[in-house]
Structure 1
Amino acid sequence: MPEQRARTYHRNRVANTFSEEIGAMLEGELSDPRIAPSYVTDVVLAPGGKSARIFVAVHGTEQEEASTLEGLLAARAYIRSQLRDRMGVRHVPELTFAIDRSEKMTGRMDELLGRMRKRDKKRTAAEPEPTPVSTTPISKP
């Protein structure tokens, strides 16, 4: 049986609220020095509402991404309590954080595609044009 439209709408609203509130916390409320400048890219809420996965993009190196993930995991209980207070709900799902590298991958893919186009353009410019073969029959005397 398909899921009810209202339930899906509610889940999307909760995910948007999580994204906004956690994003605000990342901008300055979390004082952990391990957390590098970052922002929330996506929130995936489980169908039952018992857990949520928050994808965070970090501006920095892979080492900064790892330390940010450690800091967020350490602050998980604080973030849940703040969400509970701000949203005025009884239950806040279990939070799991993950680093979102999709933007870096997209940039890398664009760079590689650009290189391929450039290489193909050079290759076609370097190849000599084939001479057309005449199709008229040659008569022998």
Structure 2
Amino acid sequence: MSKIRAGRVGEQIKKELSLLIQSELKDPRIGFVTITGVDVTNDLSQAKVYLSVLGDEEQKSGSLKAIEKANGFLRSELGKAIRLRHTPELIFKLDESVAYGSHIEKLLGDLGKSEKR
């Protein structure tokens, strides 16, 4: 039962953090950021938030640093939006799966073009 609850809490955290990052954070270092997933521990003490950032490595690291700096603000606003006894500790990680998927798709496209010749 706790896995089901952790999944629901993770989806709610994802929704609320997406809104907070888009509307409340005014840091110019934050580029186009998408939250791709949230993994919450069964005891709801930690939440790993996976971010996908559009841009080069410099923009990715700048956005991640700015969001980590705003961790306290995001956690307090999340606590106001979601009524839990303890707000989970937020751990932000870059999600490279989107970039990896587009790289594989490009390779498959190039392979298809070379076969047609």
TM-score, length of structure 2 as denominator length:
0.92
Aligned-pair distance for 1:117? 2.1
The structure whose Rg is larger is 1
**Moved >4 Å (runs of 4+):** none
Aligned-pair distance for 1:93? 1.2
Does residue 28 in structure 1 map to residue 27 in structure 2? Answer: no
Q: Secondary structure at the match of 1:24?
A: helix
TM-score, length of structure 1 as denominator length:
0.78
Does residue 41 in structure 1 map to residue 29 in structure 2? Answer: no
For the 8 Å contact 2:2–2:42, the answer to whether it is kept is no
Larger RCO (CA under 8 A, 6+ residues apart): 2
For 2:40 and 2:18, locate their aligned partners in 1 and report how far apart those are by CA, in whole Å: 16
**Structure 1: stretches of 5+ with no match in the other structure:** 1-5, 123-141
**Aligned residues with identical type, % of pairs:** 28
Q: Deviations over 1:5-60 (max 9, x none)?
A: x2122111100110000000111211112111211110011233211110111122
Does residue 88 in structure 1 map to residue 83 in structure 2? Answer: yes
1:61 alignment partner AA: D
Query: RMSD across aligned C-alpha pairs, in angstroms?
Result: 1.2
**Structure 2: stretches of 5+ with no match in the other structure:** none
Q: State the aligned residue count.
A: 117
